[in-house]
Amino acid sequence: MPGQKIRSSEITPESEYLLRSRRRMLKLSGLALGSALLTACGGQVGGLLASRNQPTAQPQAQSPGQAAGATAIPGAPAAPAVSAVKTDEQGARANSFNDITNYNNFYEFSEDKEGVAPLAQGFQPNTWSVTVGGLVGKPMTLDLDALRKKYGQEERIYRHRCVEGWSMVIPWNGFSLAKLLKDVQPTAKAKYVRFESLADPKIMPNLSSPFYPWPYTEGLRVDEAMNDLAFMVTGLYGHALPGQNGAPVRLAVPWKYGFKSVKSIVKIDLVEAQPKTLWNTLNAPEYGFYSNVNPNRPHPRWSQDTERRIGEADRRPTLLFNGYDKQVTGLYTGMDLIANY
Sites of contact with ligand MTE (CB under 6 A)? 14, 104-108, 160, 162, 197, 216, 245-246, 258-259, 261-264
- Indicate whether 259 belongs to the interface with Mo ion (CB under 5 A): yes
Cβ proximity to Mo ion: between 62 and 104 the closer is 104
Q: 99 touches which of Mo ion, ligand MTE, none (CB within 5 to 8 A by kind)?
A: none
Would you mind telling me the total number of residues written for the chain in this entry? Answer: 341
245, 289, 225, 239: which is closest to 63 by C-alpha?
239
Instruction: Compute the least distance from the CB of residue 130 to Mo ion, in Å.
Output: 22
Cβ proximity to Mo ion: between 214 and 257 the closer is 257
Instruction: Compute the least distance from the CB of residue 160 to ligand MTE, in Å.
Output: 6
- Indicate whether 162 belongs to the interface with Mo ion (CB under 5 A): yes
Instruction: Compute the least distance from the CB of residue 196 to ligand MTE, in Å.
Output: 9
- Indicate whether 258 belongs to the interface with Mo ion (CB under 5 A): yes
- Indicate whether 6 belongs to the interface with Mo ion (CB under 5 A): no
CA–CA separation, 26 and 48 (whole Å) = 26
Q: 245 touches which of Mo ion, ligand MTE, none (CB within 5 to 8 A by kind)?
A: ligand MTE
Beta strands in the chain (DSSP E): 81-82, 129-134, 140-143, 154-161, 166-176, 192-197, 217-221, 231-236, 239-240, 250-252, 265-271, 306-309, 316-317
The residues near 162 (Cβ < 8 Å, ≥ 6 apart) are 11, 105, 257, 258, 259
- For residue 36, the tally of other CB atoms under 10 A from its CB is 6
Cβ proximity to ligand MTE: between 186 and 269 the closer is 269
The residues near 233 (Cβ < 8 Å, ≥ 6 apart) are 172, 173, 174, 241, 245, 246, 249, 250, 251, 252
Cβ proximity to ligand MTE: between 174 and 246 the closer is 246
- Indicate whether 175 belongs to the interface with Mo ion (CB under 5 A): no
- Indicate whether 13 belongs to the interface with Mo ion (CB under 5 A): no
Q: 197 touches which of Mo ion, ligand MTE, none (CB within 5 to 8 A by kind)?
A: ligand MTE
Stretch that binds Mo ion, among 105-113, 165-173, 181-189, 317-325 (CB under 5 A): 105-113
CA–CA separation, 133 and 295 (whole Å) = 35
Chain residue whose CB lies nearest Mo ion: 162
Instruction: Compute the least distance from the CB of residue 189 to ligand MTE, in Å.
Output: 27
Q: 166 touches which of ligand MTE, Mo ion, none (CB within 5 to 8 A by kind)?
A: none
The residues near 218 (Cβ < 8 Å, ≥ 6 apart) are 194, 195, 251, 259, 260, 261, 262, 275, 277, 278
- For residues 214 and 262, the answer to whether their CB atoms sit within 8 Å is no
Stretch that binds Mo ion, among 64-72, 88-96, 257-265, 280-288 (CB under 5 A): 257-265
Binding-residue total with Mo ion (CB under 5 A): 4
Instruction: Compute the least distance from the CB of residue 302 to Mo ion, in Å.
Output: 13
CA–CA separation, 159 and 167 (whole Å) = 7
Task: Decide: helix, strand or coil at residue 236.
Answer: strand
Helix-, strand-, coil-residue percentages of the chain, each rounded to 5: 25, 20, 55
Instruction: Compute the least distance from the CB of residue 113 to ligand MTE, in Å.
Output: 8
Cβ proximity to ligand MTE: between 113 and 297 the closer is 113
- For residues 128 and 241, the answer to whether their CB atoms sit within 8 Å is no
Positions touching Mo ion (CB under 5 A) are 105, 162, 258-259
